[in-house]
Structure 1
């Protein structure tokens, strides 16, 4: 790794590539199933870091369709996308503004986006077509092989209850995210309220009122020009991870009920070539579910021989929920659960805890469910 030139990116190139930086894909396809097997990928992100080319060196900007001159151009492209109508599970995801919220969706239709070249080439196999508008090209380099091999071997050497196993796991799984951090360097000043009113709003990142004065955090020039991150590395790693998972998403031999960043839930038999509990990038059987209900991304209930596994994003206390609760929700009804939420008021140095109602409902913000085996994909034109 020390011999590779990892670029520190800022300015327009950082902003452009960051538009195409999204994480793992999480989706519900069939809300109810029996005899469901959950497979996890062994260390998904490290598995693609170990042997995939990373964007290194000095990037070069090019306007127009570079594929006419360089068939295997490597980097990040701004493209117009056309997704085939007959695709079962779309594999390209974007951030999409719907009303007042921004969702990460995998739509069909036509749109423009920034995309990593290797993810674009992979999507061509599934019928996507592209028009390249502009691009940043990079050199290629196998950058993190020694790092990943050393730490993964530590995990294999020590049991899960050994601290070294946990340390190695954290260093492996959090490593890529450091390159994608959105650095905001702030300069804090105490100013009068009159001076505060004169500061340009786009420069203010944080402020606390202090009686007649204001403690204000201002964006500094260094935050634009001296970035200590490399968004290209983080965007490439997450794209490679989605490429890895795409092989399961439109496979006629695999019926998917639910997918998370690094896992699939299916009632199909998985080809043994995909499975090995110890090899990086291979699948391991995490658990077998007698019954499973999936209500949306990060909202599910799994009935296993060892009891229930319940996940509801944003809800910590799930003690009142049962399998019958989720059965009730399958008919698009709602359940309200009381939970405690913390509120901070920094200016007064207070933290208050309040009871609030949390509403659980089947989520249709990524696709509209028509029946248990049929759904309407999100369309963009």
Structure 2
């Protein structure tokens, strides 16, 4: 039996890349909603050992909310999101069917605005009117030609990466279903975590044909906003009222619809090329090597700013991770008053980057102490399990508590036991909490942070870019600065999705301890979801992310809650959410920036 490779003890640095940037393909898919003929077409495969089957939601898998944190150093007025929400009942009665698809090859150093229009290859369902009377049949043929041509171009150019914007939401799920049903000559591999599609790779035998990726995970904004910020010279994103679009409208509106799609493809190519150029010039990193923004930020940090000799970042063992993760609570969201009039909404600017730079981070290798009775909290530094008593008279409780049954994060009064970062316990004690430390892991406190130079460079560079009016550079600096901390807190326990044949499914059915659900995609392929690295997994099955340091993410969020408490403890605080506060009275002008 092969031995598992040794688990790394600390995060390593990366060497700068010497290879040049690589070309890529950008693509788009346009869909129309039509009534579902038979809502029972796709049924989940039931696990005979599981009586609590999860309802199939293949057509409505949501993209994870992308949290974007603020950008300066003190409080500013918060801008609210006015985008309308989708009607959740739409997915129950309608389905998305593709009517157009297209792609464009993008090369580093190219001027997208000068690329001839014919370079964008397009496919349209109504071009097959003579072959098929049924719209869904025309859509299927259109997708077949699109996929086959994409495979030919990928093979000819040796370009394997194809970007769609918001692939995880609509395009990816639709293409994945199409390929598993109609692409019998292909095989597939997916990178899906917690029901979010990051990459869908298509193989012909053992050879990779192409990989579909979501550009949204690298540039977390709408295509319209990205175009205005990164390449306004390409013009604005078009507008189509998809809610009013009907199948009978497709043929007479062919030119309008294709022009709309081609502009989307051109914009995506432009913003991706601009971002690739910036990352390469500033950091010598090609984002094609990363699937997500947090991974890209981590790569830049390890390559340019991280010194493992002076500040090695420890990678926790299974026991360490399990204990410390109990003290990783994230942000504080609470409603104190359900109704308010003439309210003031504020954001704490660059809250997490500010904390990463300004506060001491837990360093070194943690040391376990199993009896802390009588110890002075102010003399401890690490993650402590403690018995806590919050005064029942406190109207704005400070310490969080996670309900073991529901997982709900509460901020209760009374007596409870939890794991907390020592700085948080010390602050709570000053507020009137009674703290009895029980046990925990101690870290080194050198009053330093490994993120000092990382945050300082990005923050100062962003300020300079804003002053000079360089929106593109300011945007990129903000993205990288705000995306690093969460990567260290990635949870080892996650849901894995596989697309496999029946034989593999049967193996998983009987070998995986935590099967979530299975679904038949076609006569050949099935999709199965199962959890890995659960608390019940054997040590031989434990395979966590190789770059994980939950003690850093937990400390950062704890410091952030301490910073915000002075605002949310005010009697006129109506609502708070992580880095924001809604108040009935304005803050002093010297505490506010634009």
Give the TM-score taking structure 1 as reference length.
0.64
1:148 aligns with 2:455: yes
Residue among 222, 231, 242 paired with 2:561: 242
**Structure 1 range deviating more: 166-175 or 236-245:** 166-175
Structure 1 unaligned spans of 5+: 278-283, 285-381
Q: Is the 8 A contact 1:10 1:227 kept in 2?
A: no
1:84 aligns with 2:401: no
Residue deviations 1:187-231 (CA, integer Å, cap 9, x gap): 9776356544431424x5775657588676684847446742100
Question: CA separation of 1:233/1:145 partners in 2, compared to 1, >3 Å: closer, same or farther?
Answer: same
Aligned residue pairs, count:
272
**Structure 1 range deviating more: 232-241 or 207-216:** 207-216
Residue among 107, 124, 127 paired with 2:429: 124
Which has the higher Rg, Structure 1 or Structure 2?
2
1:16 aligns with 2:323: yes
Q: Is the 8 A contact 2:374 2:436 kept in 1?
A: no
Deviation at 1:33, TM superposition (A): 2.4
Partners of 1:255 and 1:197 lie apart in 2 by 54
Deviation at 1:10, TM superposition (A): 2.9
Aligned to 1:199: 511
Residue deviations 1:45-93 (CA, integer Å, cap 9, x gap): 1111111010111000001116627842100001111111111201111
Deviation at 1:145, TM superposition (A): 1.3
Partners of 1:110 and 1:236 lie apart in 2 by 23
Structure 2 unaligned spans of 5+: 1-305, 534-539
Partners of 2:450 and 2:546 lie apart in 1 by 20
Superposed counterparts of 1:10-159, under 5 Å? 10-65=317-372, 68=375, 71-97=378-404, 101-140=406-445, 141-159=448-466
Aligned to 1:318: none
Superposed counterparts of 1:235-314, under 5 Å? 235-251=554-570, 255-272=572-589, 275-277=591-593
**Structure 1 range deviating more: 111-120 or 165-174:** 165-174
Partners of 2:341 and 2:328 lie apart in 1 by 35
Deviation at 1:267, TM superposition (A): 2.3
Partners of 2:400 and 2:377 lie apart in 1 by 26
Partners of 2:509 and 2:452 lie apart in 1 by 52
Question: CA separation of 1:73/1:212 partners in 2, compared to 1, >3 Å: closer, same or farther?
Answer: same
The structure with the largest strand share of the pair is: 1
Partners of 1:143 and 1:76 lie apart in 2 by 19
2:337 match: secondary structure: coil
Q: Is the 8 A contact 1:256 1:266 kept in 2?
A: yes
Question: CA separation of 1:164/1:226 partners in 2, compared to 1, >3 Å: closer, same or farther?
Answer: closer
Question: CA separation of 1:206/1:52 partners in 2, compared to 1, >3 Å: closer, same or farther?
Answer: farther
Aligned to 2:230: none
Q: Is the 8 A contact 2:378 2:426 kept in 1?
A: no
Q: Is the 8 A contact 1:66 1:73 kept in 2?
A: no
Residue deviations 1:303-346 (CA, integer Å, cap 9, x gap): xxxxxxxxxxxxxxxxxxxxxxxxxxxxxxxxxxxxxxxxxxxx
Q: Is the 8 A contact 2:465 2:474 kept in 1?
A: yes
2:431 match: secondary structure: coil
Partners of 2:432 and 2:389 lie apart in 1 by 9
**Structure 1 range deviating more: 8-17 or 60-69:** 60-69
Question: CA separation of 1:158/1:66 partners in 2, compared to 1, >3 Å: closer, same or farther?
Answer: farther
1:174 aligns with 2:483: yes
1:270 match: secondary structure: coil
Residue deviations 1:220-259 (CA, integer Å, cap 9, x gap): 84744674210000000000000001112334xx511111
1:230 aligns with 2:549: yes
2:581 match: secondary structure: strand
Partners of 2:560 and 2:376 lie apart in 1 by 28
Partners of 1:87 and 1:182 lie apart in 2 by 33
Partners of 2:543 and 2:377 lie apart in 1 by 32
Question: CA separation of 1:32/1:114 partners in 2, compared to 1, >3 Å: closer, same or farther?
Answer: same
1:39 match: secondary structure: strand
Partners of 1:212 and 1:31 lie apart in 2 by 52
Partners of 2:427 and 2:382 lie apart in 1 by 14
Partners of 2:393 and 2:560 lie apart in 1 by 24
1:79 match: secondary structure: strand
Q: Is the 8 A contact 2:377 2:425 kept in 1?
A: no
1:169 match: secondary structure: helix
Q: Root-mean-square deviation (CA), in Å?
A: 2.9
1:88 match: secondary structure: coil
Question: CA separation of 1:31/1:226 partners in 2, compared to 1, >3 Å: closer, same or farther?
Answer: closer
1:53 match: secondary structure: coil
2:402 match: secondary structure: strand
Aligned to 1:329: none
Q: Is the 8 A contact 2:377 2:422 kept in 1?
A: no
Q: Is the 8 A contact 1:45 1:238 kept in 2?
A: yes
